[in-house]
Amino acid sequence: MPRLIKGPSRRLGQLRPADTIAGTLWTSPFFSQFEVTLVNCVNVSTGDSKISIFHDPDGSTYDEDTALVYEYTIGPGDLFQFEAQKSIVGYKAGETIGVQSSVANAVNFKAYGRVNDEEVVP
């Protein structure tokens, strides 16, 4: 039976890619269970952008095989929320969540979730 992930829910990472190459939004820091429950994507540009969200449990290969969302069009000023139905759960150091936008500096990505037994100091 999987362990219950205990710990505060928090923002895990934020990235606004300055180019159109996929980049790492968050990397799991150590061998502990974690879950990513939400990725917010806000298009802050004046035109459409195609976005992709990836999960690679073995590193940072971001392509169709690791895509959770692939080339979804988001309009100017729009918010797209990727909510994992049962969350993205992992346990290995180095697992990554990657993101990509077809327009440089157009989309702000934020990932939310929790790391097991993590304590957040206010």
Sorted by where each begins, the domain ranges of the chain are: 35-115
Residue 20 pLDDT greater than 70, yes or no: yes
pLDDT tens-digit readout, 21-34? 999 999 987 767 78
CA torsion 31→113→37→13, rounded to 10°?
-100
Supply the pLDDT for residue 118.
Answer: 64
107 vs 61: which has the higher pLDDT? 107
The phi and psi torsions of 107 (rounded to 5 degrees) equal: -125, 135
Give percent of the chain with pLDDT exceeding 90: 61
Q: In what order do the strands lie in the sheet with 49-56?
A: 23-27, 96-101, 49-56, 67-74
CA–chain centroid gap for 81, Å, is 10
Q: In what order do the strands lie in the sheet with 79-90?
A: 10-15, 107-115, 34-43, 79-90
Supply the pLDDT for residue 84.
Answer: 76
Q: Which CATH architecture has domain 35-115?
A: Sandwich (2.60)
Mean confidence (pLDDT) of the chain: 87
Supply the pLDDT for residue 105.
Answer: 97
Average pLDDT, integer, range 95-105: 95
Residue (of 52, 23, 34) closest to 88 by Cα position: 34
CA 54 – CA 60 distance, rounded (Å): 9
Please give the model's pTM, rounded to 2 decimal places.
0.87
Residue 2 pLDDT greater than 60, yes or no: no
Supply the pLDDT for residue 72.
Answer: 98
